[in-house]
Amino acid sequence: MSSAIDSVLTETRVFGPFERVANNANISGMDAYQALYDEAARDPNGFWERMAREHLVWDKPFTTVLDDSDAPFYKWFADGELNVSANCLDRHLNTPVANKTAIIFEADDGEVTRITYKELHARVCQLANGIKSLGYQAGERAIIYLPMSIEAVVAMQACARLGITHSVVFGGFSSKSLHERCVDIGASLVITADEQKRGGRAIPLKKAVDEALAQAGTESVKNVIVYRRSGGDVEWKDGRDLWMHDLVEGQATSCDPVPVNAEHPLYILYTSGSTGKPKGVQHSSAGYLLSALLTMKWTFDLKDDDIFWCTADVGWVTGHTYIAYGPLAAGATQIMFEGVPTYPTPARFWEMIQRHQCTIFYTAPTAIRSLIKAAESNDEHHPKKFDLTSLRIIGSVGEPINPEAWVWYHTHVGRERCPVIDTWWQTETGVHMITPLPGATPLKPGSCTLPLPGVDAAVVDESGQEVPAGKGGFLVIKRPWPAMIRTIWGDPERFKKSYFPPELKGYYLAGDGAQRDAEGYFWIMGRIDDVLNVSGHRLGTMEVESALVSHPLVAEAAVVGRPDATTGEAVVAFVVLKRPLPQGEEGQTIARELRDWVGREIGPIAKPREIRYGENLPKTRSGKIMRRLLRVVAQGENITQDVSTLENPAILEQLSQAY
Ligand code: PRX
């Protein structure tokens, strides 16, 4: 970890405060931040009780705040009842927000659709009534496999309204991933579309659902509701499949929200861990929604007239918290985009900010880095060509943002007037945890700065002791927080083992390396486990390895990450074939075949950038693969480490040959 630490902490520039934002910010100035932080630290339960009473609408008020009797299976507001969809929609109906635009949807081809809160409420109720008419009830689980669309938000909200736990599967995942998730949650309902449109292409979705449901273990699925997006051809299974437009036709535009317990699982979202099988991260209803709403107000300093745009897909946690739930609970107007940042040109984001007068823009470092490249190679795609003066706050999420990209973003997109909000959090944390506040925190490029009120973050060593400033260690959260993961669906033991290792005194282990500087700022150094971050997407190396070894030609595989200037990390796979080493063209043909195979097994995001062949992998005498050495080989560097413990040192030379 040490070279990474040294490189980030050579950064000494400080930006801000930003008067324009600070002057009327929801949390204005460091004293206000500190006061709120201290209140939460002094009396966490009192703090969260106050927040939950002030910000949520309860059907049955709670009487307990934190129940830690079965730690680490924490419960928050456990005897309270509410409905998440009522807290996102119904609460606005008798206020001026009812006629405010909830979503400005821009399709791949540029067509724009607007929907008000009142209309969105009606759409959600109609779909909920349709689902109810099929006999579904609270407690069942639904898979949502939809493109970025108003319908995706409607589907998530309709499930929440009925107390049906959803699991959204990103449209880029394969039918095999879909199948695994369907089986794991025991889904009874699937909501999908005929096709999705991205970058001018139509990509089938229903077809993947059909393939997934043709396999064993999915008998629990009774219906597939299909949103007609493209009008492309689909196969149809009578009795099971229903068009969404047929189902909602004639349904009432009101539907009583079902009150659920505060701890009722709102959703399960799969994410990669260090073993082969993705983990179903289970989130609660009340605690999750409370913090989704609070962070809209704190981190994004949301105001009534803001036009908020989070560019994430609803298939990831960012799209759950900062598209489907947080902005709606806060009554915000938000932009939702179907397509990709590079279509029809890499100026699409800048055009859209200008067209819709976006004030808060939230995207990922990987997008910023690829748009920098595009802007620098063609002036027409440079943000300076567009009027971006509507912007007030610009944010970043998903991976460390390198200082150069940060400064470019600040200079050319934020025009030096907008704070860059680098938010650190995870699928498991549910919401932002460590992040600047736009009207308060002085910024340092590459640092996610300071924890939010109520977040007790620290950097510790293997025994849970806090390390001094300037030393690297494990990032932990010392106290439970309302939006935290509740368990791994169906695997409570794995939950305990992954996040609460006994030697860490009950702290939540994030899985990231970090260090703090002399002012207490956090600098994230990347994962400490076998998880890669490719374009802001989490990928387990074991997941890719299992996919590779399931190919008939592959005997053994080891996967590592290599730093990449655009995608953050790139997947490099070392492969031992069940046949002699391929030569020339043949090697490339097999590599193509293996990449496509991984694409089909997991999804295109998991395809290895590079595949290298060897007759074996570097192993210790006890047979353990030396990944440390493979990482060096993947970077094209010479091995300077001691290789005397290797059983077969000569293999390193062979693996250095790339295809
Ligand atoms: O390694 C950290 C990185 O992304 C991981 C979480 O990934 P995921 O659960 O997919 O959630 C992504 C969206 C919240 C973290 O363990 N990460 C996320 N945000 C940052 C980050 N690394 C550095 N800086 C960030 N701002």
DSSP reduced 3-state for 605:
helix
Pocket test for ligand 1, best of 426, 447, 452, 474 (most atoms within 8 A of CB): 426
| CA-nearest residue, atom 23 of ligand 1 | 400
Q: Which own/partner contact pairs does 649-653 have at CB distance under 8 Å and 24+ positions apart?
A: 649/618, 651/614, 651/615, 651/616, 651/617, 651/618, 652/618
- Integer Cα distance of 254 and 57 in angstroms: 18
Residues 411 and 404 sit within 8 Å (Cβ to Cβ):
no
Ligand 1 centroid to Cα of residue 98, in Å, is 34
Ligand 1 centroid to Cα of residue 123, in Å, is 33
Ligand 1 centroid to Cα of residue 510, in Å, is 10
The finding on whether 317 has its CB within 6 A of some atom of ligand 1 is: yes
Ligand 1 centroid to Cα of residue 538, in Å, is 8
Residue among 234, 152, 154, 147 at smallest CA distance from 199: 147
Residue among 5, 447, 56, 27 at smallest CA distance from 284: 56
- Integer Cα distance of 292 and 328 in angstroms: 10
Residue among 494, 500, 403 at smallest CA distance from 444: 403
Kind plus residue range of the DSSP H or E element containing 294 = helix 286-298
Centre a 10 Å sphere on the Cβ of residue 395 and count the other Cβ atoms it contains.
Answer: 27
Sheet holding 141-145, edge to edge: 241-243, 223-227, 189-193, 141-145, 165-168, 267-271, 279-283, 487-488
Residue among 571, 554, 293 at smallest CA distance from 431: 293
Residues 352 and 358 sit within 8 Å (Cβ to Cβ):
yes
Ligand 1 centroid to Cα of residue 397, in Å, is 7
Exposure on the CB side of residue 426, measured as CA atoms within 13 A: 26
| CA-nearest residue, atom 22 of ligand 1 | 399
pLDDT digits (tens, 9 = 90+) for 219-236: 999 999 999 999 999 999
pLDDT digits (tens, 9 = 90+) for 168-194: 999 999 999 999 999 999 999 999 999
Residues 569 and 544 sit within 8 Å (Cβ to Cβ):
no
**H-type alpha helices, 429-490:** none
Ligand 1 centroid to Cα of residue 283, in Å, is 17
pLDDT at 590: 97
pLDDT digits (tens, 9 = 90+) for 288-302: 999 999 999 999 999
| CA-nearest residue, atom 18 of ligand 1 | 398
| CA-nearest residue, atom 21 of ligand 1 | 399
* Phi, psi angles (nearest 5°) of residue 460: -130, 165
C-alpha distances out from residue 420 to 60, 299, 364, 410, 653, Å:
39, 11, 12, 6, 44
The finding on whether 524 has its CB within 6 A of some atom of ligand 1 is: yes
| CA-nearest residue, atom 15 of ligand 1 | 426
- Integer Cα distance of 303 and 301 in angstroms: 7
Ligand 1 centroid to Cα of residue 401, in Å, is 10
Kind plus residue range of the DSSP H or E element containing 213 = helix 206-213
Residues 332 and 296 sit within 8 Å (Cβ to Cβ):
yes
Ligand 1 centroid to Cα of residue 398, in Å, is 4
pLDDT at 4: 43
Pocket test for ligand 1, best of 459, 485, 524 (most atoms within 8 A of CB): 524
| CA-nearest residue, atom 10 of ligand 1 | 538
Ligand 1 centroid to Cα of residue 424, in Å, is 6
Query: At residue 144, what is the residue type?
Result: I
| CA-nearest residue, atom 12 of ligand 1 | 398
Residues 544 and 608 sit within 8 Å (Cβ to Cβ):
yes
The finding on whether 429 has its CB within 6 A of some atom of ligand 1 is: no
Q: Please report the DSSP string for 124-161 in residue order.
A: HHHHHHHHHHTT--TT-EEEEE--SSHHHHHHHHHHHH
The finding on whether 427 has its CB within 6 A of some atom of ligand 1 is: yes
Exposure on the CB side of residue 137, measured as CA atoms within 13 A: 1
The finding on whether 511 has its CB within 6 A of some atom of ligand 1 is: yes
Residue among 577, 540, 528, 582 at smallest CA distance from 557: 577
- Integer Cα distance of 72 and 297 in angstroms: 28
The finding on whether 271 has its CB within 6 A of some atom of ligand 1 is: yes
- Integer Cα distance of 634 and 358 in angstroms: 41
* Low-confidence residues of the chain: pLDDT under 70: 1-8, 276, 658-659
pLDDT at 650: 86
Please calculate the CA angle 548-549-552 and round it to the nearest 5 degrees: 100
The finding on whether 192 has its CB within 6 A of some atom of ligand 1 is: no
What tokens were used for 574?
């070392």
DSSP reduced 3-state for 430:
coil
- Integer Cα distance of 207 and 195 in angstroms: 9
| Burial class of 416 by CB neighbour count within 10 A (0 to 12, 13 to 18, 19+) | exposed
The finding on whether 538 has its CB within 6 A of some atom of ligand 1 is: yes
pLDDT digits (tens, 9 = 90+) for 581-614: 998 899 999 999 999 999 999 999 999 999 999 9
Ligand 1 centroid to Cα of residue 212, in Å, is 29
Scan for tokens 């009925």, then name that residue: 162
Pocket test for ligand 1, best of 11, 279, 452, 533 (most atoms within 8 A of CB): 533
Radius of gyration of the chain (CA): 24
pLDDT at 659: 54
Q: Mind spelling out the 3-state secondary structure of 80-133?
A: CEECHHHHHCHHHCCCHHHHCEEEEEECCCCCEEEEEHHHHHHHHHHHHHHHHH
Cα distance between the two ends of the chain? 29
Ligand 1 centroid to Cα of residue 425, in Å, is 5
Scan for tokens 């299974």, then name that residue: 237
- Integer Cα distance of 430 and 437 in angstroms: 18
**Strand bridging mode 473-477 / 508-516:** antiparallel
